[in-house]
Chains A and B, each alone.
Chain A
Amino acid sequence: MIPLQLAALLMVGLAGTTVVLMRDPLRMTILNAVYALTLTILFLVFQAPDVALSMLVVGGIAYPIVLLAAIARVRSGGDE
């Protein structure tokens, strides 16, 4: 368990918990992207470049687009 792995693991645990505790959807989307980044680093440190690439691309492109579109649609459609 090299120190880098330890750091990456703690970051993942922290980021995951923060994402869950953040109730506001917009801030949560940004935190989700940060969480995906910590996961990417963790997968790299676990010698899994393919999965890191997959998480990077998905966490960086797919999740933000889908989440932001859903939030905008819910916010603009409703009266809030």
Chain B
Amino acid sequence: MSYLPYIVAAWLFVVGLYGIVTSRNLIHLAVCLTVTQSSTYVLLLAIGYKHRATAPIFYGVPVGSRAVDPVVQALTLTDVVVSVTVVALILALTVDIHRDAKTVDPDEIEAFRG
């Protein structure tokens, strides 16, 4: 039971990849990409967690008290906001592809072969 969070993270990673490989719509593919990325958030925060510990915010909480790891939260916090714009870049590409190729199915885009 004490490894379930990590297992869920690994599961989300692989499910996201499955979604990407079998996707028929680039917008669906972009969201599957975010699912894969969210697996790293779950893993990072699960690693940093400590039992019976408060959040690393010492406002109204004495400084010495047992707190979870702030570093993983700092890494995840910025990554969440930034990944929206990266997915938006991929969606912008999707919109442009649809305008030129009239399809958003990755298997039917015929730009180049071999």
Q: Which residues of A contact B (CB under 8 A)?
A: 1, 5-6, 9, 12-13, 16-17, 19-23, 25, 28-29, 32, 35, 39, 42-43, 46-51, 54-55, 58, 62-63, 66-67, 70-71, 73-74, 77-79
- Determine chain A's interface SS by DSSP, over half rule: helix
B88 → A minimal CB distance (Å): 5
Contact of B102 among A46, A48, A55, A79 (CB under 8 A): A79
Q: Are B5 and A48 in contact (CB under 8 A)?
A: no
Q: Are A54 and B42 in contact (CB under 8 A)?
A: no
Contact of B55 among A47, A71, A77 (CB under 8 A): A47
Docked Cα-Cα span, A13 to B83, in Å, equals 20
Inter-chain contacts of B27 with A (CB < 8 A): 25, 28, 67, 70-71, 74
- Determine chain B's interface SS by DSSP, over half rule: helix
Chain A residue at minimum C-beta to C-beta distance from B98: A74
Q: Which residues of B contact A (CB under 8 A)?
A: 1-2, 4-5, 8, 11-12, 15-16, 18-19, 24-25, 27-28, 31-32, 34-35, 38-39, 41-42, 45-46, 48-49, 53-55, 57, 67-68, 73, 76-77, 80-81, 84, 87-88, 91, 94-95, 98-99, 102-104
New A-B pairs, 11, CB < 8 Å, besides A5-B5, A22-B28, A54-B77: A13-B12, A28-B28, A39-B42, A46-B45, A47-B67, A48-B68, A54-B80, A62-B81, A66-B84, A71-B27, A78-B98
